[in-house]
């Protein structure tokens, strides 16, 4: 009896595999809803940052006039720039004689490649961002440097929750050898993120990211970077295909017959774009304290990346 796999079933499995395979995208602000980009100019959508409001004070019974304030939201543009895809020809011979399990032999390896491609796009954004604070790792005691990174985030009023420290392999080795390192309990789900989280230091989840340069690390809040994915529509002429989005990921799968090659083609696409999130305000060079501006157009205010800190190993 022939067994026909529904396209929707395959793409649902693909999204699940994608979420389990990636590490870094699970630590940032992400979404994958088609309506976010449909009709957007230059394939760009705007992420709204909440207004920064500073409360006013006056003396009771003092008769001072009330000062009126304005709320000014800020915008971060995210543009779809890259099609991360797989285009796999499947010959008659392979389909008839070689492929016993489509999921294991075709879907899983192609999805792993798509996952790495999406993560590489985010890595490029993170490593090439312009950082306000760049620290040199104290390899004799990495804890001191990580505490300094925490201080930089605290001085910028970055929330304490959802902080991560993504590390390359050499930085990871230095941290693992530190007496201050507390290894996490490895019980729980079998996701790539769980396997990559090696412990907590100074309020950061320490996460090993092989895609990073070995001698680099980045301490950041979830909102420091954003990644969007969008799946293109299934072509009207494709007999088999589906598009879905889930939990910030989106993917399209299509299977078509190529008459020139007399072979099936299994095709996957995920469009993606990434951005670093900056804040507008004033950085005190003496104290290191960053004060967000109530009015982004205020004179002297600078646009800075303060939700993340870069850490480099010394030469």
Task: Evaluate if residue 220 carries a pLDDT over 50.
Answer: yes
* Residue 68 forms part of a structural domain: no
Domains of the chain: total: 1
Q: What is the DSSP string of 6-38?
A: -HHHHHHHHHHHHHHH-SGGGGSEEE--HHHHT
How many Å separate Cα 217 from the centre of its chain? 15
* Residue 70 located in a structural domain: no
Domain with 304 in it: 7-51+75-313
Q: Identify whether 181 is part of a domain.
A: yes
Q: What is the mean pLDDT of residues 9-34?
A: 69
CATH of the domain at 104: 3.90.1690
- pLDDT tens string 178-194: 877 755 444 444 455 56
**Residues 21, 112: contact at Cβ < 8 Å?**
yes
Predicted confidence (pLDDT) per residue in 233-290, tens digit: 888 888 777 776 665 678 888 888 777 776 788 888 999 999 999 999 999 999 999 9
Which of these, 23, 99, 72, lies nearest to 295 by C-alpha position? 72
Average pLDDT of the segment spanning 4-27: 64
CA dist., res. 21 & res. 108, Å (int): 10
- Can you tell me whether residue 229 is helix, strand or coil? strand
51 pLDDT more than 80: no
Residue 1 domain-assigned (yes or no): no
Report yes or no on 56 lying in a domain: no
- Residue 167: inside a domain: yes
Rounded CA gap, 20 and 269, in Å? 18
Asked, for residue 159, whether it belongs to a domain, the answer is yes
The answer to whether residue 179 sits within a structural domain is yes
């Amino acid at each position: 009896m022939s067994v026909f796999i529904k396209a929707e079933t395959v793409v649902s499995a693909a999204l699940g595999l994608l979420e389990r395979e990636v590490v870094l995208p699970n630590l940032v602000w992400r979404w994958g809803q088609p309506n976010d980009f449909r009709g957007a100019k230059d394939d760009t959508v705007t992420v709204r940052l909440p207004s920064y409001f500073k409360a006013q004070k006056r003396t009771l019974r003092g008769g001072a006039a009330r000062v009126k304030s304005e709320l000014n939201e800020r915008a971060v543009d995210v543009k779809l720039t890259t099609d991360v895809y797989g285009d796999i020809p499947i010959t008659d011979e392979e389909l008839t004689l070689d492929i016993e399990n489509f999921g294991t032999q075709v879907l899983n390896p192609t999805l792993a490649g798509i996952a790495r491609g999406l993560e590489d796009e985010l890595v490029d954004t993170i490593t090439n961002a312009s950082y306000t604070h760049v620290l040199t790792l104290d390899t004799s005691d990495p804890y001191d440097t990580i505490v300094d990174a925490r201080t930089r985030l605290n001085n910028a009023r970055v929330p304490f929750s959802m902080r991560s420290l993504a590390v390359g392999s050499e930085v990871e080795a230095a941290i693992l050898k530190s007496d201050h390192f507390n290894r996490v309990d490895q019980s729980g789900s079998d996701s790539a993120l769980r396997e990559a989280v090696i412990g907590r230091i100074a309020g950061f989840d320490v996460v090993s990211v092989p895609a990073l340069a070995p001698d680099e690390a980045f301490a950041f809040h979830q909102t420091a970077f954003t990644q969007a994915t969008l799946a293109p529509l299934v072509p009207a002429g494709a007999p088999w295909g589906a598009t879905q989005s889930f939990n910030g990921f989106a993917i399209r799968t299509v299977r078509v017959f190529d008459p020139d090659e007399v072979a099936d083609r299994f095709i996957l696409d995920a469009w993606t774009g990434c951005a670093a999130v900056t804040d507008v305000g004033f950085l005190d060079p003496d104290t290191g304290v960053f004060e967000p501006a109530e009015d982004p157009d205020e004179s002297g205010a600078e646009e800075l990346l303060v939700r993340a800190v870069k850490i480099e190993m010394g030469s």
